[in-house]
Amino acid sequence: MTVRRAAATAAAALALAAPAGCDPKSSEPTPAPVPVPAVKAAPVAGAPAEAPVVEAPAVDAPAPGAAPRRFGDAMAEVGRRFERAGRAVIAGRWDLADYDLGELGEVFDDDLRHAARPEDVPSDPQPAIAEFAATALPRLQAAVRAHDRAGYDAAVAAAAQACNACHEASAKAFIVVPSATGAAVPELSPVADE
């Protein structure tokens, strides 16, 4: 179709779409169609690859110019969601538990992966972040989706161990994640007299 034909067709479409009582001829002249730049579509699974595709930035990368979330702020959300998921499981609110675990996963994938290491953390926490997201978290989610209370308790104990191992490696051993489902995070029960 020629550009002129396209414009005529677009004008006709506009006239048809115009609400009653609105005379399209009295309005601004129809602008010529803006040429659309040829955009290479992202490759579709199964579609033939015709041209080399430029690597797109990861979808979960923070918006350019946006400051990454602070590590401790993201961890506070991890603690809150971990605790609430457990309380939801105890209440039999499996969908809420599944939701909280999904959000917890997003904090690991979207926020913690891009967060700067706090100055007083002696080792790189990134391997433990990836490890937690790949093992402890899917185990919690599998138990929730199976409505498996005993399985969830076991997954919480394993997850808490992973949380605490990283806190120890990060010089944050005083932030103790309890191993019981639904227990308050972090541990705040009185310490025994020394």
Residue window 112-131: x/- pattern of binding to ligand HEC, with contact defined by CB under 6 A: ------x--x---x--xx--
Residue with CB nearest ligand HEC?
Answer: 72
140 touches ligand HEC by CB under 6 A: no
Which C-beta is closer to ligand HEC: that of 71 or that of 94? 71
CB neighbours of residue 151 within 10 Å? 15
Instruction: Compute the least distance from the CB of residue 10 to ligand HEC, in Å.
Output: 55
Residues 175, 176, 180, 183, CA torsion sign: negative
Interface pick for ligand HEC out of 7, 10, 76, 176 (rule CB under 6 A): 76
Give the Cα separation of 62 and 110 in Å (integer).
8
- Residue closer to ligand HEC by CB (options 143, 159) is 159
Distance CA 29, CA 11 (A): 9
Give me the residue label for tokens 């199964």.
46
Which stretch of DSSP H or E encloses residue 77? helix 71-90
Q: How far apart are CA 61 and CA 55, in angstroms?
A: 13
Binding to ligand HEC (CB under 6 A) within 152-191 occurs at: 159, 162-163, 166-167, 170, 172, 175, 177, 185-186
Contact present, 68 and 114 (Cβ < 8 Å) = yes
CB of 129 to ligand HEC, least distance (A): 4
Looking up tokens 């227990």 gives 183
Nearer to ligand HEC, 125 or 182 (CB): 125
Residue ranges that bind ligand HEC, judged by CB under 6 A: 71-72, 75-76, 78-79, 82, 118, 121, 125, 128-129, 132, 159, 162-163, 166-167, 170, 172, 175, 177, 185-186
